[in-house]
Amino acid sequence: MDTERRIAAEAAQGFMPRDEGLALYHHAQSVRADGPFLEIGSYCGKSAIYLGTAAAEQGRLLYALDHHRGSEENQAGWEHHDASLVDPATGLMDTLPVFRQTIFNAGLEGTVVALVGHSVPVAASWQTPLSLLFIDGGHGEKPAHDDYESWTPKLAGDGLLLIHDVFPDPADGGQPPYEIYLRALDDGFVEVDVVGSLRVLQRA
Ligand code: SAH
Ligand code: MG
């Protein structure tokens, strides 16, 4: 399947604006480091299409890590809840079936590898250096900082770090993604690009 058709197959469900998705795709295309890509937080597969399309073009894999039970804001009673994503057998959110369908529709089953589990324990046994890390998992204080601490050491020296939902003004959104972005700058990453709430960083 060609790039145009893949990106057109992008899932309707998802919180990523198109300009930010296209920025994911373009930056992923420019990665020079060796190794696979990994995203934390896949939900219904929207960001995985943009990153996976670039990965497929370069013969890389994209590991798409999510427990598929949703973040806090996806649960019943919260702003980003979608009742059609609740599994009646368990009463819990389950985005894995929609995610699989999204990846199938995009022709990316050979490229996007789902890792169904919790971010921190998966990181604990992860050894392969990553050429690109996209952090878009839990946005609470602890999950965001845990993801930053667990996964940034896995990034290759010249790899790209992307962080989503960075809102410097608290009026625009929660602060933990912004806090880990500030940590990254403090830890010697430099900013390569800003598109909406997406930040693209690389080690200096
Ligand atoms: N990147 C997606 C949106 C991700 S939404 C897109 O742009 O299309 C955030 C996702 O993070 C949710 O699906 C939730 O299940 C997942 N998540 C939250 N905390 C997690 C954790 N600790 N481990 C694994 N996945 C987690
Ligand atoms: Mg996001």
**Segment-wise mean pLDDT, segments of 10 residues, the chain, 204 residues:** 60 75 98 97 97 98 97 83 91 95 97 98 98 97 98 97 97 96 98 98 94
Name the closest-CA residue to atom 14, ligand 1.
70
Confidence (pLDDT) at 79: 78
Of 67, 139, 145, 164, catalytic: 139
Q: Which two tokens stand for residue 189?
A: 């990453």
Q: Which two tokens stand for residue 25?
A: 């795709």
Confidence (pLDDT) at 11: 46
Which ligand gives the minimal distance to the CA of 69?
Answer: 1
Within a 10 A sphere around the Cβ of 179, how many other Cβ atoms?
15
Confidence (pLDDT) at 60: 98
Q: Is 139 a catalytic residue?
A: yes
Confidence (pLDDT) at 58: 97
Confidence (pLDDT) at 8: 53
Residues flanking ion ligand 2, Cβ below 5 Å: 136, 164-165
Query: Quick check: CB of 154 below 6 Å from ligand 1?
Result: no
Confidence (pLDDT) at 78: 82
Name the closest-CA residue to atom 6, ligand 1.
47
Confidence (pLDDT) at 12: 46
